[in-house]
Amino acid sequence: MLEGEALEAERIRAHDLRKVPLSSREAGDLIMMGIGGFTPLTGFMTRLDWERVCDGMVMANDLFWPIPITLSTDREIADTIKEGDDIALVNFDNEEPMGVMTVTEKYTIDKAHECMMVYKTTDKNHPGVKMLMEQGDVNLAGPVKVLSLGDFEKKFPGLFLTPAETRAHFEAKGWRAVAAFQTRNPMHRSHEYLVKVAIEVCDGVLVHSLLGALKPGDIPAEVRSRAIDALIDNFFVEDTVLHAGYPLDMRYAGPREALLHALFRQNYGCSHQLVGRDHAGVGDYYGPFDAHHIFDEIPQGALETQPLKIDWTFWCYECGDMASMRTCPHGDDKRLLLSGTKLRKMLSDGGEVPKEFSRPQVLNILREHYAGLKDEEKVEIELTGHSAR
Same domain for 244 and 349: yes
Whether residue 63 has pLDDT greater than 60: yes
Whether residue 318 has pLDDT greater than 90: yes
Q: Could you tell me which of 325, 327, 291 has the C-alpha nearest to residue 311?
A: 325
pLDDT of residue 377: 52
Residue 67's pLDDT band (boundaries 50, 70, 90)? very high
Same domain for 265 and 202: yes
Instruction: Establish if 171 belongs to a structural domain.
Output: yes
Mean pLDDT of the chain: 93
Same domain for 15 and 106: yes
DSSP letters, 48-75, are: HHHHHHHHHSB-TTS-B-SS---EEE-H
Contacts for 359 with CB less than 8 Å, ≥ 6 apart: 189, 192, 230, 231, 234, 235
What pTM did the predictor assign? 0.93
Whether residue 383 has pLDDT greater than 80: no
Q: Which residue has the higher pLDDT, 95 or 166?
A: 166
Residue 182 near residue 279 (C-beta atoms within 8 A): yes
pLDDT of residue 375: 56
- How many distinct structural domains can be found in the chain? 2
Instruction: Establish if 243 belongs to a structural domain.
Output: yes
Whether residue 64 has pLDDT greater than 80: yes
Same domain for 171 and 143: no
Same domain for 283 and 340: yes
Query: Rounded CA gap, 306 and 300, in Å?
Result: 11
Q: Which of 91-105, 240-254, 370-384 has the lowest mean pLDDT?
A: 370-384
Query: Rounded CA gap, 373 and 388, in Å?
Result: 10
Whether residue 379 has pLDDT greater than 70: no
Same domain for 188 and 39: no
Residue 217's pLDDT band (boundaries 50, 70, 90)? confident
Instruction: Establish if 309 belongs to a structural domain.
Output: yes
Chain segment 84-118, per-residue pLDDT in tens:
999 999 998 888 999 999 999 999 999 999 999 99
Beta strands, E only, the chain? 18-22, 43-44, 71-73, 86-91, 97-102, 105-107, 138-146, 178-183, 204-210, 241-246, 272-275, 306-309, 313-316, 321-324, 335-337
Residue 324 near residue 313 (C-beta atoms within 8 A): yes
**N- to C-terminal Cα separation, the chain:** 32
Same domain for 136 and 169: no
Quickly count: other Cβ atoms within 10 Å of residue 379's Cβ: 14
Chain segment 261-316, per-residue pLDDT in tens:
999 999 999 999 999 999 999 999 999 999 999 999 999 999 999 999 999 999 99
Query: Rounded CA gap, 250 and 269, in Å?
Result: 21
pLDDT of residue 388: 27
pLDDT of residue 345: 81
Same domain for 145 and 40: yes
Query: Rounded CA gap, 110 and 135, in Å?
Result: 12
CATH number at residue 163: 3.40.50.620
Chain segment 326-336, per-residue pLDDT in tens:
999 999 999 99
Which helix or strand (DSSP H or E) is residue 26 part of?
helix 24-35
Catalytic residues: 184-185
Local structure of 373: helix, strand or coil: coil
> At which of 120, 150, 180 does a domain end?
150
Query: What are the angstrom distances between the C-alpha of 242 and each of 88, 152, 206, 208, 248?
Result: 35, 18, 5, 8, 19
Residue 115 near residue 133 (C-beta atoms within 8 A): yes
Report the pLDDT averaged over residues 165-178.
98
pLDDT of residue 374: 61
Same domain for 128 and 166: no
Instruction: Establish if 83 belongs to a structural domain.
Output: yes
Local structure of 24: helix, strand or coil: helix
Quickly count: other Cβ atoms within 10 Å of residue 112's Cβ: 12
Whether residue 368 has pLDDT greater than 80: yes
Which helix or strand (DSSP H or E) is residue 192 part of?
helix 189-201
CATH number at residue 82: 3.10.400.10
Report the pLDDT averaged over residues 204-228.
92
Query: Rounded CA gap, 273 and 263, in Å?
Result: 10
Instruction: Establish if 321 belongs to a structural domain.
Output: yes
Same domain for 135 and 216: no
pLDDT of residue 82: 97
Chain segment 12-35, per-residue pLDDT in tens:
999 999 999 999 999 999 999 999
CB contact burial 71-99 (16+ within 10 A = b; e otherwise)? bbbeeebbeebeeebbbbbbbeeeebbbb
The phi-psi region of residue 365 (left if phi > 0; otherwise alpha if psi is between -120 and 50; otherwise beta) is alpha
Same domain for 359 and 230: yes
DSSP code of 160?
B
Instruction: Establish if 389 belongs to a structural domain.
Output: no
DSSP code of 260?
H
> At which of 150, 181, 201 does a domain end?
150
pLDDT of residue 343: 81
Quickly count: other Cβ atoms within 10 Å of residue 35's Cβ: 22
Query: Rounded CA gap, 201 and 199, in Å?
Result: 5
Query: Rounded CA gap, 35 and 166, in Å?
Result: 12
Residue 218's pLDDT band (boundaries 50, 70, 90)? confident
Quickly count: other Cβ atoms within 10 Å of residue 167's Cβ: 18
Same domain for 346 and 235: yes
> At which of 150, 179, 214 does a domain end?
150
For residue 183, the enclosing domain spans 155-384
